[in-house]
Amino acid sequence: MDFRRLAEPAGLLYGTAAEDAVKRGFALPLAGGPAAFSCVDLIEDRTHSGFMPVGNVPAGWQEVLARLVAKPPTAGMPEGAQVMGILNITPDSFSDGGLHQEALSAVQTGQAQISAGASVLDIGGESTRPGAAAVTPEQEWARIGPVVQGLKQQVPEAVLSIDTRNSTVMAQALAAGADVINDVSALTHDPEALPLLAEKTCGVVLMHMRGTPATMTQHAVYEDVACDVVRELGARLTAAIDGGIAPERLSVDPGLGFAKNTAQGVALLSRLPLLANLGCRVVLGVSRKRMIGELTGVQNAAGRDAGTQAASLEGLPLGQTVLRVHAVEGMVQALRVWQRVHTV
């Protein structure tokens, strides 16, 4: 697909207002609903048309507009907006490092997250915080392998996502029953990752990042952060599809906190509907990040859950969004209230 041309939806409507506007031809459903958009900005390279009613979009842009309307595939995860619980089996993750190093404790935490309403667990054995040191794939699997195996035994209905950049860890996790691979490098770190996953059927999450976790802060320079992120993710989607991964297996993560400062993160959050151009499910991970701390003045990462919930709700107009959080129970409550207010 050509992502030089993007359409940015705005003028969002919900519930009966959205339904009525769509029936009358004044709006179009966004990513299959529940939101609808009534106007759109047409962006070609760096040129913007300015926002116009959806009924005024020229015929030559209808294919781009159709990408905004289409409901994205589920990409290996349950249908509809979902909460994904974070389970870091690391000594040095920025928020919960060291809390789940014992496999039994990690499995119990995962069970509690499922009981609290998470439908997906994202299990990681390597910290990807800014400046984090790399670990070997052997160390990574030694950390997460017993947890994956334990969770498959204790909560077989849970969808397990593996947060890894390494093909050997991916292969071992999938053999142990994992359902989704979540790669912060969007399959650029390990040249064996893409050909491996092309032979599998699992879901694959491609996250936006520039550089590596050790160097990414040097790359936080954008002309237009929202358009740049969408186009760079589009390039990774194209590479994955050309490499043999079926489009319906792919979802995207805009990578809040990865090669983006707070101002850039806020700008990206405010324009998340632009991600609908990619035609993919969105995984949104803002949980307890430095951006939340800088916006709220809360220095302790574990105290940022209310800010996390407010930021995460910004992703729900895209319909199938997966909200990746440390504190599951509060996020599930916030999601359910939002859904009651914003759907018919």
Cite the active site residues.
289, 324
Among 143, 61, 155, which Cα is nearest to 113's? 155
| Cβ–Cβ < 8 Å for 265, 238 | no
The rounded distance, in Å, linking the Cα atoms of 126 and 137 is 9
The rounded distance, in Å, linking the Cα atoms of 286 and 307 is 9
* Residues in a beta bridge with 183: 206
The rounded distance, in Å, linking the Cα atoms of 250 and 280 is 7
Residue 152: Cβ-neighbour burial (10 angstroms; 0-12, 13-18, 19+): middle
* Residues in a beta bridge with 160: 121
The rounded distance, in Å, linking the Cα atoms of 342 and 33 is 10
| CA distances to 63, 205, 229 from 6, in Å | 10, 21, 12
The alpha-carbon radius of gyration of the chain (Å, integer) is 19
CA angle 297/99/303 to nearest 5° reads 15
The rounded distance, in Å, linking the Cα atoms of 287 and 98 is 17
CA angle 311/78/113 to nearest 5° reads 60
The rounded distance, in Å, linking the Cα atoms of 309 and 289 is 12
